[in-house]
Amino acid sequence: MKKLLLTGFVPFLGLPINPTEEIVKTLDGKVIGEYEIVSRVLPVEFAESARQCLAHIDEIKPDVVISLGLAAGRTKVTPERIGINCRDGEVDNKGVQLQDSPIDDNGPAAYFSTLPIRKMVDILQESGYPAKISNSAGTYLCNNVMYATLHKIEQEKLNIRAGFIHIPASHELAVQKPQLPSWSLTDLQVSVVKMIESLD
C-alpha cells in the first residue's frame, strides 16, 4: 500500500490550539483511498520544523507528502501553489525571528507544488467545501516546510509528490478571537480527507 506523510503543526503565535495538530493525529494510521496515512506533528521553530520533516521523509519513505498549516484569517481551504526560498515574519516558538533570509543559499527562488491542487480545489468546491488555490504560503514556518520538502525531493530526485495546504481556523479557535473566520473541526477534517481521496 502507498504511504502518505501527513504533517501538522503545534500551536503558535499565542494561539491556544492548532487544528492541524488535531486533524493529523485523528487521521494517523487510517487508510484513505489507496494511501496509508502516517502523521507527524512539527514544531513551530525555524531551526527544527523543516529538519524534522525531512527526517520523517527519510524514515517513512512516503509516496506523497501533504503538510497542513493554519492560515488564521482565511475563509477557504487553500492548497498552496508555490513555496519560496525565503524566511521572514514573526518570531517562532523559540523566539527566533528572521528577515529576508534564504532557506537554502544555493536553492532556486521557488518550487511549485506537485500535488494536484486544481483537482483538489475542484473536488472540494463540488462537494460544497469552499476552496481556492493560494499563490502564497507566506514566509513563515509553513512556507519553510513546503520549500525544504520540495527542495529535498528535487535534489535527491525522489519519486514523491509533495505540497502544502493551508486551512481556516476552527470554531474552537474563533470563539476566542473576535474577527476570525472559522469552520468546524469536522468540516476541516472532511476537507483534508477529500483532498487525499483525490490523489491517484
| Active site residues per annotation | 80, 142, 166
Name the one residue in this structure whose C-alpha cell is 462537494.
127
For 9-36, letters b (16+ CB in 10 Å) and e give bebbeeeebbbbbbbbeebeeeebeebb
Decide if 181 contacts 72 (C-beta within 8 A).
Answer: no
Of positions 174, 193, 197, 198, contacts a second copy by CB under 8 A: 174
Cα 111 from Cα 155, distance rounded (Å): 12
Closer by beta carbon to a second copy, 47 or else 127: 127
Does 29 engage in binding with a second copy (CB under 8 A)?
Answer: no
Closer by beta carbon to a second copy, 22 or else 36: 22
Q: Where does this chain touch a second copy (CB under 8 A) — which range of 8-16, 17-25, 52-60, 177-185? A: 177-185
Of positions 1, 14, 100, 106, contacts a second copy by CB under 8 A: 100
Does 155 engage in binding with a second copy (CB under 8 A)?
Answer: no
Given phi > 0 = left and psi -120 to 50 = alpha, else beta, which region is 34? alpha
Q: Which helix (H) or strand (E) holds 21?
A: helix 19-27
Does 111 engage in binding with a second copy (CB under 8 A)?
Answer: yes
Does 27 engage in binding with a second copy (CB under 8 A)?
Answer: no
Does 122 engage in binding with a second copy (CB under 8 A)?
Answer: no
